[in-house]
Structure 1
Amino acid sequence: MDLFNSNNEFKEQTYPDQYQIVSDPSDRKFVALANATSAILITNDDDLLSIRLDIGVNIMSAEEFNMIIAEL
Structure 2
Amino acid sequence: MTDLFDRKDAAPAPPSSPQNLKQDSNKRGDGQNACMVCGALAYFGFGVKLLAGRPGRWSCGAHRDAVKNAIRR
| TM-score, length-scaled by structure 2 | 0.25
- Which structure would you say has the larger Rg? 1
The structure whose residues are more often strand, as a share, is 2
The structure whose residues are more often helix, as a share, is 1
